[in-house]
Structure 1
Amino acid sequence: MYYSYSPYPYDDNTVNAFLERSETGKDLTLGLFRNDKMIAYFFLWYYTDPVPLLGIGILDEYQGKGFGKKLIQFLIDAARRSSRDGIDLTMLPDNHRAYALYESLGFRHYAGCE
């Protein structure tokens, strides 16, 4: 598998749009809840394609607590179980914290993807 992040906003409109996309059956969109409040969403767009697109959104107060790593690992495992060829993502070039996270999970930077 190969893996290649721009942050997604966390607001009601964005979350609702992702959930609507998921209802088509082409995407895998999930939410993480704490005390009946959604604190994060994560997805694989084009889940039925050979290489879906990964994205996550986490409320600011829950960032840096390990949720991102667990959510991404969950999606990697789901893609493997579904025999996907890899997972793609985009990220801002100066987001060093995200880059380190993705690299620790097996994602690799490919030249020309910027």
Structure 2
Amino acid sequence: MTEQNKKRERVYQVSSNREKSSHKLRYVEASAPHEDDCRLCVGSLATTDAQPCDFTVANTSYNDISKIAFLEKQLYSNDAYSAAFFYQALRQWPHTFLTLKAGEKTAGYSLMVPVSDSDVSLMSLLVGKMFQGKGLGKLLLSDSIALARSLGYKQMELSVAPDNASAVSLYRSFGFNTTKTVRDYLGPGQDRLLMTLSLWEN
């Protein structure tokens, strides 16, 4: 195996439990794309010198699905959300499905799912490793929160691994509070903090 094939990319992801309606945030490892991978998809992950002001967050369109699905496939392999799932998500939740872009490149996405008339759950938020260190996680989360608030939701919820200090710190910096810790939330040894954020304007 060459050094290139051994190369790993770390990505920042908030993802739902594939079997339940609960959610989790974690750091995961994904294989770097090979030279013969789809240029369209790899282009969505290519290293960029773009600065935060060059990125935009907008409602997801059908043209974004293939790149978003590629991001998922790299992370979760056979357990990844499929393109069909994202098409269905876009049909069901078109107003709470966001894509982060730098020009034609797809840098990440955010998917929020309403759980009641007043509550929304942050189901998935992803920013690729090569786009990190630019404040883009904060940008995407900030825009997600602003969108949820503008749509009239009063509370946002999520869950996060207790030992994921950077993620917990990020959420707390946005005002999320821990409501409780659930042991074995996603299976033996998979404890999670449940966090909520009030979206009421002060």
Work out the CA distance in 2 between the residues paired with 1:67 and 1:47: 26
SS of residue paired to 1:90: strand
1:103 aligned to which of 157, 164, 172:
172
Q: Which residue does 1:37 correspond to in 2?
A: 105
TM-score, normalised to structure 1's length?
0.79
Give the stretch that moved more between structures: 74-83 or 9-18: 9-18
Deviation string for 1:28-48 (max 9, x for gaps)?
A: 111111241211001211276
> Any conservation in 1 of the 2:25–2:167 contact (CA below 8 Å)?
no
**In the aligned structure 1, how far is the partner of 2:27 from the partner of 2:119?**
19
Q: Which residue of 1 aligns with 2:88?
A: 20
Please identify which structure carries the higher strand content: 2
Deviation at 1:49, TM superposition (A): 3.8
Query: Partner of 1:6 in structure 2?
Result: 25
**Structure 1 unmatched ranges of 5 or more:** none
Residue by residue over 1:31-76, the C-alpha shift from the partner in whole angstroms, topping out at 9 and shown as x without a partner, is 1112412110012112764211113111111123211111111111
Whole-Å Cα distance in 2 between the matches of residues 108 and 19 of structure 1?
A: 32
Matches within 5 A, 1:11-90: 11-12=72-73, 13-14=80-81, 16=83, 17-25=85-93, 28-46=96-114, 49-54=117-122, 55-90=124-159
Larger relative contact order (Cα-Cα within 8 Å, sequence gap ≥ 6): 1
Report the count of equivalent residues: 110
Q: CA RMSD in A?
A: 2.5
Residues 104 and 34 of structure 1, relative CA distance in 2, 3 Å threshold: same
How many angstroms apart in 2 are the aligned matches of 1:15 and 1:40? 16
Instruction: Give how far 1:26 is off.
Output: 6.7
Q: Give 1:19 shift.
A: 4.4
User: Which stretch shifts more, 99-108 or 76-85?
Assistant: 76-85
Which TM-score applies when normalising by structure 2? 0.47
- Which structure has the larger Rg over C-alpha atoms? 2
Query: CA separation of 1:69/1:6 partners in 2, compared to 1, >3 Å: closer, same or farther?
Result: same
Relative to structure 1, is the Cα distance of residues 15 and 38 closer, same or farther in structure 2, using a 3 angstrom cutoff? farther
